[in-house]
Amino acid sequence: MRLIWHKDWRGNFGDELSPRFFAAICPGYEHITSYDRLFGIGTLLNESSGRLGRDIVFGSGYGQGSPPPIDRDSTLVLGVRGPRTAAALGLDIEHAVIGDPALFLPHLPEFLRGEPLSDAPVVFALHHRAAELWNFSSFNSPDVFFLDPGGASIENYVATIRNAKLVLADSMHAAITAASFQVPFVRVSFYKRTDDTKWADFLESLSLPLVRPEAIPAPIEPAGRKQWLRVAARLSWVPYPRRNSKASVSLVRQAEVRDAIKALAARTVGLVVADRRLNMLQDRIYTAITKIRTLALYQTTHKRR
């Protein structure tokens, strides 16, 4: 069985988490032959996934296109990310939603051995597209740390989120990780256009309100904004070796961005999921883990015979 996940050219926490997660919860899952594909962490369910047949769906989300057709007789749906995904696939919302698998991280010791990358109380968890464009390490201060999803090990990324007092989440999986450890988080974005579908799916799974992202000023001067937008657009299709363009950022602009973030952190109260709802989804994820472990064990036992 092949795990379906997106491999970003420079690394991305939410994507890289998927193979590590399934290796941790079920070593040898790839030897299951009764199914062809395993859809795990991420927004993976759309027309690009093709028809779902001899497949397992474990906490995946719908978005970025039309929902895929699903053969209900041959597809094993252990659960989906949220109610938007369940509705798109025509599943029972009450029983199909297990939440994003990353919500189970606090129960996996393999991911709790990292060291925080900073003691700053506010962590700004970057979206990987924003991290491609600017060198945010020069933006760091004792008050705010910019967390690059491609610049840290999974363990250190988790530790940095867990250690924060407040997470400003440009990345959805940073918000999911914060929610799993009940660290307050605020949805933010440098971009005017954002994907509300997947955020709604995640937030509604935890009975949290659908909030629009707090706007953060772009790290370049307004005069250079058109150039930045052209670079951002080009990055969606140029070959990987050419994806190294980063706009320079003045010290004045860096200070402006940091000041805006500090002001936001001072006036906002982050979202925190209720214990009962989080525990319920973690129990559902554990049930799905038990089922895939049983399947793998049966497969191994059957082969030995």
Residue 76 phi, psi (nearest 5): -100, 105
Show the domain range for 283. 2-108+277-304
Do 216 and 138 reside in the same domain of the chain? Answer: yes
In which residue ranges of the chain is pLDDT below 70? 191-194, 221-248, 298, 300-305
Do 256 and 200 reside in the same domain of the chain? Answer: yes
| CA distance to 5, 197, 220, per residue, from 253 (Å) | 36, 31, 7
What is the Cα–Cα distance from 54 to 71, expressed in whole angstroms?
8
Do 115 and 82 reside in the same domain of the chain? Answer: no
Q: What is the pLDDT of residue 273?
A: 96
According to DSSP, the residues that pair with 123 across neighbouring strands are 145, 167
Do 260 and 115 reside in the same domain of the chain? Answer: yes
Q: What is the pLDDT of residue 301?
A: 63
Name residue, tokens 């950022």: 249
Structure tokens at 35: 């199914």
What is the Cα–Cα distance from 293 to 284, expressed in whole angstroms?
14
Q: What is the pLDDT of residue 255?
A: 87
Do 150 and 183 reside in the same domain of the chain? Answer: yes
Residue 131 phi, psi (nearest 5): -65, -25
Q: What is the pLDDT of residue 226?
A: 59
Do 188 and 260 reside in the same domain of the chain? Answer: yes
Q: What is the pLDDT of residue 193?
A: 63
Do 49 and 99 reside in the same domain of the chain? Answer: yes
Do 145 and 70 reside in the same domain of the chain? Answer: no
Q: What is the pLDDT of residue 130?
A: 85
Whole-structure pTM value: 0.90
Domain count of the fold of the chain: 2
Count Cβ atoms within 10 A of the Cβ of residue 303 and give its class: 0-12 exposed, 13-18 middle, 19 or more buried.
Answer: exposed
What is the Cα–Cα distance from 304 to 238, expressed in whole angstroms?
48
Do 121 and 101 reside in the same domain of the chain? Answer: no
| CA distance to 15, 16, 180, 218, 238, per residue, from 9 (Å) | 11, 11, 27, 23, 11
The SS3 call for residue 15 is helix
Do 124 and 263 reside in the same domain of the chain? Answer: yes
Q: What is the pLDDT of residue 239?
A: 38
Do 119 and 73 reside in the same domain of the chain? Answer: no
What is the Cα–Cα distance from 138 to 164, expressed in whole angstroms?
20
DSSP-H helix ranges across 44-109: 83-88, 93-96
Radius of gyration of the chain (CA): 20
Q: What is the pLDDT of residue 124?
A: 97
Do 174 and 246 reside in the same domain of the chain? Answer: yes
